[in-house]
């Protein structure tokens, strides 16, 4: 059983005991004492799992399959298992490369792909699953990148089941090549009639029928992402630390552009001196197109005074 399964089991037990406690009458004192004692032990076990997860920064995931490639005896087709692991590894490696600050071209090899390897450390029955884990063998590897990549891959898989706007917003935070790797993984599942469950950290996503897999694959396959860089002139109207949001009013049309402060700007508060002044905003625009509709997300990468403008940023 994976750590995510352990946590889910303990949480279910805790919820059950809370429910029973709420139904007890005042005369059931002994039963209340026993249940409250069990509840305290559950809280301690959950806290222990959280502490272990916090100390161990390695990437871990449980990847389970069902459907056509899995036999009733708890066995899996060897070719499917190998292909599925390869496709998932490619999704994680591509994601890790972008999180590690690498520039990825539309095609070609992934830089330092060997640094982002996951290893099979076990299997589990039921449908049929693989326990995957990072082995820290690359001293030059940046800590936490692979774990972040596994979490990001699970976030994107989960996003394929969201409403259209939420899905577009989720993939806009990614990279076109990552989304193509996501589509390739789901297309493999679809072509083989497989179902899927991925548990990584606190996140779990399930595709329990071939129809759900097919819908997710179709969604990812028909997602087109374009990226561009623009220089906007106008007034910075707002910067919000919560959610790293910004608002910028354009000179030309008076339109207000809303988006996110890029992580190249470490502290959004550093932009406050430019509030309500005319300035130049350098933005990275990610356009997600699906079924003829476009969703644009703006990322503020840099801001500077308007050349020739005599107004100095107000110090606040």
| Pair type for strands 293-305 and 256-261 | parallel
SS3 state of residue 118: coil
pLDDT digits (tens, 9 = 90+) for 223-272: 998 889 999 999 999 999 888 899 999 997 789 999 989 878 989 999 99
The angle at the Cα of 15, spanning 13 to 19, to the nearest 5 degrees, equals 115
The predicted pLDDT at position 311 comes to 53
The predicted pLDDT at position 103 comes to 47
Tell me: pLDDT of 313 over 60: no
pLDDT digits (tens, 9 = 90+) for 90-137: 999 999 888 754 444 444 455 567 778 999 999 877 678 999 999 865
**Cβ distance 227 to 203 under 8 Å?**
no
CA distance 313 to 51: 45
Q: Pick left, alpha or beta for residue 305 (phi over 0 → left; psi -120 to 50 → alpha; otherwise beta).
A: beta
The predicted pLDDT at position 81 comes to 96
Look at 55 and 70; give whichever has higher pLDDT: 70
Tell me: pLDDT of 142 over 80: no
267: CB partners within 8 A, 6+ apart: none
Q: Is the pTM of this model over 0.85?
A: no
What value does the mean pLDDT take over residues 71-82?
Answer: 89
- For the chain, where are the alpha helices, taking DSSP H only? 3-23, 29-55, 78-99, 145-159, 164-172, 176-191, 210-221
The predicted pLDDT at position 73 comes to 65
């Amino acid at each position: 059983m994976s750590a995510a399964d352990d946590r889910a089991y303990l949480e279910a037990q805790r919820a059950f005991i809370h429910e029973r406690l709420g139904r007890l009458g005042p005369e059931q004192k002994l039963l209340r004492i026993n249940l409250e004692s069990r509840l305290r032990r559950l809280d301690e076990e959950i806290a222990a799992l959280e502490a272990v997860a916090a100390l161990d920064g390695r990437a871990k995931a449980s990847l389970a399959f069902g459907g056509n490639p899995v036999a009733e005896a708890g066995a899996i087709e060897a070719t499917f298992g190998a292909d599925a692991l390869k496709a998932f590894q490619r999704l994680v490696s591509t994601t890790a490369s972008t999180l590690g600050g690498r520039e990825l071209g539309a095609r070609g090899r992934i830089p330092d792909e060997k640094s982002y390897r996951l290893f099979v450390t076990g299997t589990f029955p039921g449908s049929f699953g693989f326990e995957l884990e990072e082995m820290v063998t690359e001293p030059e590897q940046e800590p936490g990148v692979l774990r972040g990549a596994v979490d990001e891959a699970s976030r994107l898989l989960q996003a394929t089941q969201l409403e259209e706007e939420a899905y577009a917003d989720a993939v806009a935070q990614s990279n076109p090549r990552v989304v193509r790797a996501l589509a390739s993984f789901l297309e493999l599942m679809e072509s083989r009639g497989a179902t899927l469950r991925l548990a990584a950290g606190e996140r779990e996503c399930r595709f329990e029928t071939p129809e759900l897999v097919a819908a997710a694959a179709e969604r990812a396959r028909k997602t087109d992402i374009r990226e561009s860089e623009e220089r906007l002139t106008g007034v910075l109207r707002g910067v919000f630390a919560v959610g790293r949001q910004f608002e910028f009013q354009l000179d030309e049309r008076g339109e207000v552009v809303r988006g996110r402060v890029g992580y190249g700007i470490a502290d959004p508060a550093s932009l406050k001196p430019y509030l309500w002044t005319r300035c130049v905003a350098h933005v990275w625009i990610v356009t997600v197109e699906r079924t003829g509709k476009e969703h644009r997300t703006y990322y503020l990468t840099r801001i500077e005074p308007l050349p020739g403008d005599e107004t100095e940023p107000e110090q606040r």
